[in-house]
Structure 1
Amino acid sequence: MSTSQATWFGQPRGLTILFLTEMWEKFSFFGMRTLLVYYMTKQLLIGQEQSSLIYGLYAACAYLTPIAGGYIADRWLGTRRAVIAGGAIMSLGHFMMASESLFLPALATIALGNGLFLPNLPSQIHGLYDERDPRRGPAYNLYYAGINLGAFIAPLICGTLGEVYGWHYGFGAAGIGMLLGLMIYVAGAKYLPPDSPRTATDKNAERSGDVKRQMILLVSVALVVVVYRGAYEQLGNTFALWADQGVDRQIAAGLTIPMTWFQSLNPMFVFLLTPVLVVYWTRAGRRGRDPSPLAKMAMGSALVAVAYLMLALVLSVHVGVVSWAWAVLFVFLLTAGELLILPTGLALFGQLAPRRFAATVMALWFLGSFGGNLLAGVLGSLWSAMSAAAFFTLMAVTAALASALLLLIRGRVAGFPESGAMEIPQPRHTS
């Protein structure tokens, strides 16, 4: 079923509902996360090492629970009820943060709710469009912009409330944001596709004749994205360290760019570049010139490699700190590559996932974030043992490796139709 007849802003109305729901969910998620370490060390007086351990365990659980949440939704609850239940549980967890004695149970509650919510919301995008609708691929770029919009405003609101008026005000704002997202989702449910019956036969499976090969393909892509994220996730890690020590942040006499502002460049560029990419890919799709998903992802990873290589070359010829403009250009190139690989990968999983297991397969995509962050941490530990130029060269090689692996996978796939959904060659039958 397609609901693409009634539109807002040229897209199915359901996409706006999913966009706003995701925006407020990410507002709550990143709003709480912005305050978490400061709250533990300053209010609860937990040591830095233990605080970092708690933070890491919470982040890991947030990306692990969607596997169970996706399976529960596909097997029993259904997509809509899973989203509503997950949002309600997360709201409860955020409000539990108001009590210091409930701190750890609150974190566990938020992680559990996230497991139901995270994989089930984007799994509904596919059903908003007909199979050959050229808007379907760019729709995931728009949805991805919602993620970044919530992540962008969360520190400004929740962070300010927490620092100025008290931690619990910031946590409360995060909980209110989650409730707003839940209310939007429930109010706009009529614009969303119905849940697929648990016993429905998957059309992709009928077309390909080999669901197992589809799953092997998706697992392969997820593993490569782990490699890509090993380089990409340095943006909030070693790049942040370099921006503090290796960048001349003075733009005028007495005016210096705060080092944290460089972290806001990424979501800002997402907002600026997404409309351009959506228009371009939609027009290319209508002309039949839209590159295949894996080709886009390979280009994106290659662009990230170029960004790191640029920094490595600049640092190899400059002694001391470098201009802030190089840091801005790096984030711009990194974001452009990100918009080619991450929303495209999300779309690929959404389009190829067997309908009966859509949420479970979508959770596999998010599990790549878990592995990627772990790899980024391992690679980041090399920062102090290498020069900045050598480290950024290593990151360029890592991103280039991911690009090469994506092209290798693409070479083993028969082709892609214009809509971007992958066609896997059918097995030959012998009489």
Structure 2
Amino acid sequence: MEIIQNQYHTKETLYFALTRMFERASYYGFKTLIVLYMVGETLKMERSEALNIYGVFTASLVFSQILGAVLGDLVIGNRRSVILGAILQAIGTFCICIPLTTGLYLGLFLIALGCGFYTPNLISNFGKLYFNKTKLLDSGFTIFHLATNLGSFFGVLLIGYLGDKYGFNFGFILAGVLMLISLIPIVLSKERNFEKTENNRSGLNKRILIIVMAFTLVGLFWGFNDMSYIRNSDLQLQFKELSSSVFPDYFWQVGNSIFFLPISIIAIVLWNKFYSNHFFKIMLGFIFGAIAIGILLLIPEIPTEQHLMIFFISLLFFGIAEVHIAPVIYSILTKYSNPKYLAILIGLTYLPTALISFSFGLFNDKIYDNPILGLKIGIIGMAIIGIGLISFIWWNKKLPTTSA
């Protein structure tokens, strides 16, 4: 660990973070309403049909982000892709207001396509702000990730509440307006020609190895987390019923973010002053993830209100784990990639995560009957990777100083 000197965040960091916050508020607010809208009085779909459509929509995001990243890096440029993506998403949410299945399908298509243009290109341009101050990458991307969670937090609360109180169309229109507002910081920011002038002394093969490791680790982290999802969801539903008089229903939709927000602020402050190995942070993420899942084992099959604090402690540890994983992966890609193809690499990060989650999902039938098995697999998997990363860091002590 070393003290960071003469490296500072700029106002562009704030602009990009605000853009992401408004976009995520729009997107997650829309997601809160869409299934309820499909099964509601307007379209009157069967719940199974609505969930299938929603599943196809979310799966399509993996491929749309790869397409948007390729076009952004190689054809139309990253900044133009961000603007195009935001406009497409806004039009998509407005189209859903059309009380026909045609409006629904057109809206979902435009939102998926717009998200593909928007997300990898915005993250890419944000990372490029730090090409010549790479020791601030972890702090910068944690600011960005904090904005993402703030957006989802307020989007779910605001759009979910207003859509429920005043009608779905009101919620969708608000989501579209928020998407258009997200364009304002990007338009205000100056377009810059990003050049990577810091010398990275790592060889090509080593950089490829590090990037592949980053892809694999982020996929495994979320994959093992998914192994505990069935038990976690069951506990969440039970605690929701037990504490209905204490917490409103929408609290449980954003409960994870409540702990992530203060943890992120602490991490931003620390990582703004001190630099340490990316893989050391990821190692801590897996260890805290194993602890978070392990704590769930302390809760009996049928919990009482007395076990609610244990559940919150688990959420706290998972928040610590996430802040050591999600932002740091983007830091690694930014630091070790060719800047011409950074958006493409960021778009591709969703592919191994989806593949690993799908592979682990093949065992969901067994885990559904025995959710404790999923917890044990998650604990063992995260602990093994954490220990393996300790060995990797010990073997490669010079990794933190591979760039100036």
TM-score normalised by length of structure 2: 0.88
Aligned position for 1:242: 235
Aligned position for 2:260: 270
| 1:395 aligns to 2:378 (yes or no) | yes
Q: CA deviation at 1:379?
A: 4.9
| Distance in 1 separating the partners of 2:231 and 2:368 | 9
Conserved? CA contact 1:91–1:179, under 8 Å = yes
Deviations 1:307-333 (A, max 9, x none): 111221x13xx5731421111111001
Conserved? CA contact 1:224–1:406, under 8 Å = no
Conserved? CA contact 2:131–2:335, under 8 Å = no
| Distance in 1 separating the partners of 2:257 and 2:132 | 30
| Distance in 1 separating the partners of 2:219 and 2:202 | 27
Unaligned runs of 5+ in 1: 1-6, 197-201, 424-431
Q: CA deviation at 1:170?
A: 0.9
Conserved? CA contact 1:296–1:341, under 8 Å = yes
Q: 1:396 to 1:153 in 2, by over 3 A?
A: same
| Distance in 1 separating the partners of 2:16 and 2:80 | 15
* Letter aligned with residue 272 of structure 2: T
Q: CA deviation at 1:415?
A: 3.1
| Distance in 1 separating the partners of 2:384 and 2:248 | 33
Partner of 1:11, secondary structure, is coil
Q: CA deviation at 1:103?
A: 0.9
Aligned position for 1:142: 143
Conserved? CA contact 1:79–1:195, under 8 Å = no
Report sequence identity in percent. 22
Deviations 1:15-63 (A, max 9, x none): 0011000011111111111111111112322222222211111111112
Q: 1:376 to 1:148 in 2, by over 3 A?
A: farther
Conserved? CA contact 1:231–1:398, under 8 Å = yes
| Distance in 1 separating the partners of 2:390 and 2:234 | 32
Aligned position for 2:342: 358
Q: CA deviation at 1:234?
A: 6.1
Q: 1:379 to 1:183 in 2, by over 3 A?
A: farther
Partner of 2:132, secondary structure, is coil
Aligned position for 2:113: 112
Deviations 1:256-312 (A, max 9, x none): 445652442221212111121111222222xxxx2x111211110111111111221
Q: CA deviation at 1:173?
A: 0.9
TM-score normalised by length of structure 1: 0.83
More helix by share: 2
Across the aligned residues of Structure 1 and Structure 2, the Cα RMSD in angstroms comes to: 2.8
Conserved? CA contact 1:83–1:116, under 8 Å = yes
* 1:28-427 → structure 2 map (5 Å cutoff): 28-42=26-40, 43-99=42-98, 100=100, 101-129=102-130, 131-132=132-133, 134-187=135-188, 189-190=189-190, 193-195=192-194, 207-210=201-204, 213-233=206-226, 238-245=231-238, 247=239, 250=242, 255-258=245-248, 261-285=251-275, 290=276, 292-312=277-297, 314-315=298-299, 318=300, 320-322=302-304, 323-371=307-355, 373-375=357-359, 377-386=361-370, 388-404=371-387, 406-407=389-390, 410=393, 415-417=398-400
Conserved? CA contact 2:128–2:194, under 8 Å = no
Q: CA deviation at 1:408?
A: 6.0
Conserved? CA contact 1:214–1:352, under 8 Å = yes
Aligned position for 2:4: none
Conserved? CA contact 2:132–2:198, under 8 Å = no
Partner of 1:120, secondary structure, is helix
| Aligned positions, number | 393
| Distance in 2 separating the partners of 1:170 and 1:61 | 23
* Letter aligned with residue 49 of structure 2: Q
